[in-house]
Amino acid sequence: MSNLSHILYELGEDRSLYSNAVSPPVYQTSNFAFSSVAEMRSRLADEMDYPFYTRGHNPTVAILRKKLAALEGTEEALVFGSGSAAVAAAVLSEVKSGDHIISVLNPYSWTNKLFNRYLKRFGVETTFVDGTHPENYKNAIRPETRILYMESPNSFTFSLQDIEAIVKIAREHGCTTILDNSYSSPLYQNPAGMGVDIIVHSATKYLNGHSDIVAGVLCTSRKKAEHIFETEYMNTGGIISPHDAWLMLRGLRTLPLRMKQVSESTAFILQKLESHPRIEKIWYPFHPSHPQHQLAQKQMKAGAGQFSLSLKAKSPEEIDAFCNQLKHFLIACSWGGYESLVFPVCGLSDAANYHSSPFPWNMVRFYIGLEDSEYLLEDILQALESGI
Ligand SMILES: *Cc1c(COP(=O)(O)O)cnc(C)c1O
């Protein structure tokens, strides 16, 4: 915990460089100038570590990179303009035409489209496997397999992968492991400690935590980070702006408080809803009914603020009515901010097609924000009892 305090409140912050300001400045500049050609030449030789041009290095972003790498326990972190940019950089950096990827079934929608649609144009094929059994990854391995991709847990059914078992398989076959750790944040799951090579986050969610920026993070070894910096990072230029980096630094300061609050409120609310007659099923990795509850307890530190409920409803219209009846949950995608949200699976498609979703049509995904837990519970109860 004291290490966490050091990371969040001290690491990377050298106030003597900026007039002893308590909060670091936003270096809102595209460019940096030098006192001599010799100095410029030396800085250009290490664009990843020194300010030269903001697409590569910016001092505000650099503070954030140090903190994020330390939080994940990796040597390096790169920060992107979105989680999807971080996912794409991680994946693209490891493949060439003719290579093969094995991904968990139903990853985040745009990750799915990267594998299913985009990478196909470049002759990179993906096999999707049920990630609840590590041997499914093993059985799908081919000589040209480069990446074993995980998202544990995902954010609708909260299905997990056994991270250590899949890392072992990857090492036996010379594959790289990539894991999307957005659900847990670095505080509730430490993939690097379990041997994962590249960890990605949508920092739009918990890391920033205030629903005011879109950002992404990639944490890995110095060697892999240097390779990614020289290719995907600098070539696609998907960087975070200095101002958004500053907002994320501010958001990070309260990460432990926010995670604790959403975790405790969620546990409280689920315990109260457990035996409600209108609820068919609770989906939450730290609920005893979750089929991988033991694995969750083994590889995660706690549950976060997202869960799903399958409601006893006769039609998607009843699900719509339930969601519309909630007063303190915004109907919206995303999660990880201060505000509570609700997102029904049947909202993913029009009524005629709702059966085509990979998730049950009567499933409603919740995100518990920072509001008082009793206030939120009462709202869910009144919507359940409104006679849908
Ligand atoms: C939101 C999300 C992403 C994409 O991140 P953006 O910041 O929206 O680009 C990737 N993975 C997961 C699990 C997400 O929830």
In what side-by-side order are the strands of the sheet with 216-220?
A: 76-80, 216-220, 198-202, 176-180, 145-151, 100-104, 125-129
Please say whether the beta carbons of 284 and 303 come within 8 A.
yes
Q: How far apart, in whole angstroms, are the C-alpha atoms of residue 243 and residue 232?
A: 22
pLDDT tens per residue, range 328-360: 999 999 999 999 999 999 988 765 666 678 889
Number of helical H runs and strand E runs in the chain: 15, 12
Residue 92, both tokens: 């693209």
**For residue 151, is it left (φ>0), alpha (ψ between -120 and 50) or beta?**
beta
131 Cβ contact partners less than 8 Å away, ≥ 6 residues apart: 104, 105, 137, 150, 152, 159, 160, 161, 166
- Which residue's alpha carbon is nearest to atom 2 within ligand 1? 202
- Ligand 1 atom at shortest distance from the alpha carbon of 214: 7
Q: How far apart, in whole angstroms, are the C-alpha atoms of residue 262 and residue 281?
A: 21
- Ligand 1 atom at shortest distance from the alpha carbon of 203: 7
Give residue 258's pLDDT: 98
Is residue 111 predicted with pLDDT exceeding 60?
Answer: yes
* Cα 217 to Cα 77, 87, 367, distances in angstroms: 7, 9, 21
Smallest Cα–Cα separation from 103: which of 157, 161, 143?
161
- Ligand 1 atom at shortest distance from the alpha carbon of 334: 1
Whether 149 is in the pocket of ligand 1, judged by its Cβ within 6 Å, is no
Give residue 165's pLDDT: 98
Ligand 1 centroid distance, CA of 152 (Å): 13
Please say whether the beta carbons of 137 and 148 come within 8 A.
yes
Give residue 294's pLDDT: 98
- Ligand 1 atom at shortest distance from the alpha carbon of 335: 15
Ligand 1 centroid distance, CA of 108 (Å): 7
Give residue 273's pLDDT: 97
pTM: 0.97
- % the chain with pLDDT above 90: 95
Ligand 1 centroid distance, CA of 33 (Å): 36
Give residue 358's pLDDT: 83
Ligand 1 centroid distance, CA of 193 (Å): 22
Q: How many CB atoms lie within 10 A of CB 55?
A: 14
Whether 265 is in the pocket of ligand 1, judged by its Cβ within 6 Å, is no
Give residue 352's pLDDT: 62
Ligand 1 centroid distance, CA of 84 (Å): 6
Whether 52 is in the pocket of ligand 1, judged by its Cβ within 6 Å, is no
Is residue 55 predicted with pLDDT exceeding 60?
Answer: yes
Sign of the dihedral through C-alpha 271, 273, 277, 281: negative
pLDDT tens per residue, range 142-186: 999 999 999 999 989 999 999 999 999 999 999 999 999 999 999
Is residue 226 predicted with pLDDT exceeding 60?
Answer: yes
Whether 202 is in the pocket of ligand 1, judged by its Cβ within 6 Å, is yes
Is residue 2 predicted with pLDDT exceeding 70?
Answer: no
Whether 180 is in the pocket of ligand 1, judged by its Cβ within 6 Å, is yes
Please say whether the beta carbons of 255 and 207 come within 8 A.
yes
Residue 201, both tokens: 């986050």
Average pLDDT over residues 82-99: 98
**What secondary structure does DSSP assign to 219-274, as a single string?**
EE-HHHHHHHIIIIIHHH--BPPHHHHHHHHHHHTTHHHHHHHHHHHHHHHHHHHT
- Which residue's alpha carbon is nearest to atom 5 within ligand 1? 83
Average pLDDT over residues 192-199: 98
Is residue 1 predicted with pLDDT exceeding 80?
Answer: no
Whether 108 is in the pocket of ligand 1, judged by its Cβ within 6 Å, is yes
| Secondary element (H or E) of residue 302 | none
pLDDT tens per residue, range 314-325: 999 999 999 999
Ligand 1 centroid distance, CA of 269 (Å): 25
Q: How far apart, in whole angstroms, are the C-alpha atoms of residue 385 and residue 382?
A: 5
pLDDT tens per residue, range 234-251: 999 999 999 999 999 999
pLDDT tens per residue, range 119-148: 999 999 999 999 999 999 999 999 999 999
Average pLDDT over residues 33-58: 96
Q: How far apart, in whole angstroms, are the C-alpha atoms of residue 127 and residue 306?
A: 27
SS3 of the chain: helix, strand, coil, percent, to 5: 45, 15, 40
Whether 200 is in the pocket of ligand 1, judged by its Cβ within 6 Å, is no
Q: Which of 79, 91, 106, 108 to mutate to test the pocket of ligand 1 (most atoms within 8 A of CB)?
A: 108
